[in-house]
Structure 1
Amino acid sequence: MASIDKEVATELLPFLRVYKDGSVERYLGSPIVPPSHEDPETGVSSKDITISEIPTISARLYLPKLTQPNQKLPILVYFHGGAFIVESAFSSDHHRYLNDLVSQGQVVAVSVEYRLAPEHSLPIAYEDSWAAFQWVASHSMDNYADKEPWLENHGDFKRVFVGGDSAGANIAYNMTMRAGIEGLNGGVKIVGTFLTHPFFWSSKPVGSEFTVEHEKSLPCRLWEHIFPGAPDGIDNPKMNPLGPSAPSLARLGCSRLLECF
């Protein structure tokens, strides 16, 4: 018989299991890999940086092979997927994807490492992501100290883009909405946002979504666990952009929006 401190408190399979002693066992997620200097397949260089010590926010930066020493490139702020509870900006899947994306798109990319639930319940991931986004935007200001050289020397702050996959696409959408409402440091504007398989949900099934016990679906149970007490529950504007209290889409802070399913 298992001891009381290792009894299961919650299961969110196939993602993780939470025990009553507070420990978390994750079952999904690709392994962590180091950054690379000139990736052999793409020529993209990457490095890890610390954005904030308190709270702990970090990122992996990517720079394509330059054709000119002082070449200016569009900036991409990217948020990784993983249902808010698995994966990392430093995981092999996202590292490989960002290498390809940066090489083909010829952009400077900042892949944000936000804190994960359930150890850090939402809205912490959103606050970490907003702090990282504002840090990037601050590099457009002449009086900002301690600038990151890749952003300072090669970033074009008139061409800023935001993107993400799954939960990262959810974050990218919410960062774009917040930028439209509150504004970014230095008056930076987002040219475009792309959402790849965005993690959105609602209390009512849409289209071909299953209808039997919808409120007991994995997304509903997941949201309840990672954002306990969220106003409006699964219809919170951060999960349901068309929910009853969601701001108008007209307030989105980007010129173009691409959504891919």
Structure 2
Amino acid sequence: MDVNGKTVLLTGGSAGIGREIARQLQAKGAIVILTGRDPARLAAMRGEGFEVIEADLSNAAGVDALVAALGDRSIDILINNAGLGVPHDVRNAMPDPDAADGCLYANLSAPVRLITALLPRLRARPEAAIINVTSGLAIAPNTASSVYCASKAGLRSFTLALRAQLAGEPIHVIEALPPVVDTQMTADRKTKKLPPQECARQIIAALEKGHDEANVGMVKVLRAVYSISPAFARSVMRRF
């Protein structure tokens, strides 16, 4: 797909991977509408020439408010990038169930609800795309982030089913699977991290080249290992 002139709705676009996706799409001629929760970050992105909508996607009301804020705008590309990460490890202390609910909604229910609401607009375009940003952890979970892993695995499963449902329609459904990326969410991680600029570049390249998946960075290795031995891949990831 040529993104020049396309209108993009990008959730979670004011920081991290989303911010870099927004900047790179804008540089290629796309019209980017982005969402976020932090007013200061949104103001900074507005200053870079983006249309911004403040939106909390951890609940149904926030998703519905976003759809209402769009009015009757046409959308060519929907990128479900917004996400929450929460620790959920019963070995250390009893986790916060409300935090888990917010994570599950933001990472899984919100994309499903947003796609459902916007699908008629996407179907009305000559060509369209949906990009769901999951994670390498959707393939094989780690131990400490069990709820986050479950939410991303759920979104991966939904994406696979949606692609099959839309087969034959001019809507390309893409799954983007990042590795550990250098963002606010991973600030306390001591492992090697991929720069968000490179992650964004690989995701956009998958869109432009018509790929069904963007296996970013080390996720390519994880996918290869998993194809040979799922049990070994899972055992490796459980160490983290």
TM bucket, shorter chain: 0.3 to 0.5
Normalised by the size of structure 2, how large is the TM-score? Answer: 0.35
Normalised by the size of structure 1, how large is the TM-score? Answer: 0.33
Higher relative CO (CA 8 A, sep ≥ 6), structure 1 or 2?
2
